Amino acid sequence: MQLGEVSQLACLRGARANPELSRGARLHWTCTRCSAIAAESGIIGYDPAQMRILPILVLLAATVLPTLAQAQTCTVANVHDGDTMRLRCPGQQKTIPVRLERIDAPELRQAGGIASRDFLRALCPIGGPVTLTVYGRDRYRRTLGDVDCGKGSAQEAMLQSGNAWVYMLKFTADRRLMAIQRAAQIKKTGLWARPGPLPPWEWRRRHAIGG
């Protein structure tokens, strides 16, 4: 039995799966909730026939699922760009890199990148408290999670202000976030004030860098 199968079961039960549970596993994610994390981790190829062991996995997953989404209070150490920051969290000797889940902000060298970073810095000032809900890690070893700096979802604020995109590359878009982004587009807020802004994933592809 591979731990990756536990991650898929977590998806089927409506939870967010931690890709660290499935490192080395070869699987094809059949649920939309985990497609984004799987794509970020480079996990591919799963035999659906393995789902015949589902009853066994139910018992195993029961001990795993409570750890999949953990909320903790941290403090902001640094904001690198519009979707990445470093936090000081209890029990951690070093600051941890955090990637805001489900959004993608312009790269710093990209048009709008500095404005996006500065907006997030104002929203989440250094030394300020932040509630971090952890869902896993990406291939760059960054923590994936939702961030609330005391004013609601940081991801929603970034989208509402026109400083980020809903991360749609190989992802199933979140309908609520898509609605927020659409409202910013209609109002021509932030990056949407310019005609045809280039999505960050396309900018990275053209410049051959990761995100």
**DSSP-derived 3-state class of residue 133:** strand
Q: Report d(CA 30, CA 48) in Å as an integer.
A: 9
Q: Report d(CA 50, CA 12) in Å as an integer.
A: 14
Active site residue 33: no
CATH architecture of 70-207: Beta Barrel (2.40)
pTM: 0.68
Tens-digit pLDDT profile for residues 145-169:
999 999 999 999 999 999 999 998 6
Can you list the pairs that 41-49 forms with residues at least 24 positions away whose Cβ atoms lie under 8 Å? 41/138, 41/139, 42/139, 43/4, 43/19, 46/4, 46/8
Active site residue 107: yes
> Which of 99, 102, 117, 137 is the catalytic position?
99
Active site residue 142: yes
Give the start-to-end residue ranges of the domains of the chain. 3-66, 70-207
Tens-digit pLDDT profile for residues 56-107:
444 444 434 334 567 999 999 999 999 999 999 999 999 999 999 999 999 9
Residues 54 and 62 sit within 8 Å (Cβ to Cβ): no
> Which of 86, 107, 137, 156 is the catalytic position?
107
Q: Residue 181, Cβ neighbours under 10 Å: how many?
A: 24
